Amino acid sequence: MQEGSNVNASTATTPDLDWSQVTETVRMLNLAVAQISMAMHEGEDSVGSLSASFTGMVGHVDDIAASVTSAEAATVAETVRTSVLTHCAEVQGGIQQSIVAFQFYDRLSQRLEHVRFALDALASLVADRSRLFDPGEWQALQTSIRAKYSMQEEQDMFDALHNGASVDQALDIIRERVHSGDIGDVELF
């Protein structure tokens, strides 16, 4: 055995009697889990920094507006006062839209975490021959995956797929429910 080689390494290029499509499936599921985890970690760092920056800007704009509002008329000409207040309101509106975008990212992050969890749980089940052929284990897996979902559309999508809908059909069902207002959208602060 070569130095640094791993007994769990893929043998797909040189299959032997121990080669298993289940082992290769688990390896690919683990790769997907790792990629999702890395993407989520990188995204959380940058969004956290941007969120703190926007929060600080909101505070500064509020301070500017409060200062201009409380200034005596003789100190600040009315046109300057109106202009500053108008610009403050525009900045606040822009920041509000940025916060909504962050909420979309948060939802994306939650979805990816749920996918990561499901892939990891599936890989564990498929890798365990004592559980692989037990319908109760598959039912427990499905129950734990659905219970992890915090958004209504995730639960509804799971139910649609679990009840035999194709991926496209499930997506159409959810899109229609969001469009009709049956499922909530991103909330404003």
Looking at residue 1, what is its pLDDT?
43
Looking at residue 189, what is its pLDDT?
38
- For residue 51, the Cα-to-chain-centroid distance in whole angstroms is 16
Looking at residue 130, what is its pLDDT?
92
pLDDT average, residue stretch 58-72: 78
- The residue that leads in pLDDT, 15 or 95, is 95
User: Could you report the per-residue pLDDT of 80-107, keeping only the tens digit for each?
Assistant: 778 788 888 888 887 887 777 777 788 8
- The residue that leads in pLDDT, 59 or 139, is 139
Q: Quick one: which of 65, 58, 44, 45 has its CA closest to 95?
A: 58
DSSP state of 131: H
**How many secondary structure helices (H) and strands (E) does the chain include?**
6, 0
Looking at residue 62, what is its pLDDT?
83
User: Could you report the per-residue pLDDT of 114-165, keeping only the tens digit for each?
Assistant: 988 998 999 899 889 899 889 899 999 999 999 999 888 889 988 998 888 8
**pTM for the structure as a whole:** 0.63
* Cα Rg of the chain (Å, integer): 26
| 138 vs 42: CA distance, rounded Å | 32
Q: Quick one: which of 170, 171, 151 has its CA closest to 160?
A: 170
Q: Which residues contact 85 (CB under 8 A, 6 or more apart)?
A: 65, 68, 69
| 51 vs 155: CA distance, rounded Å | 28
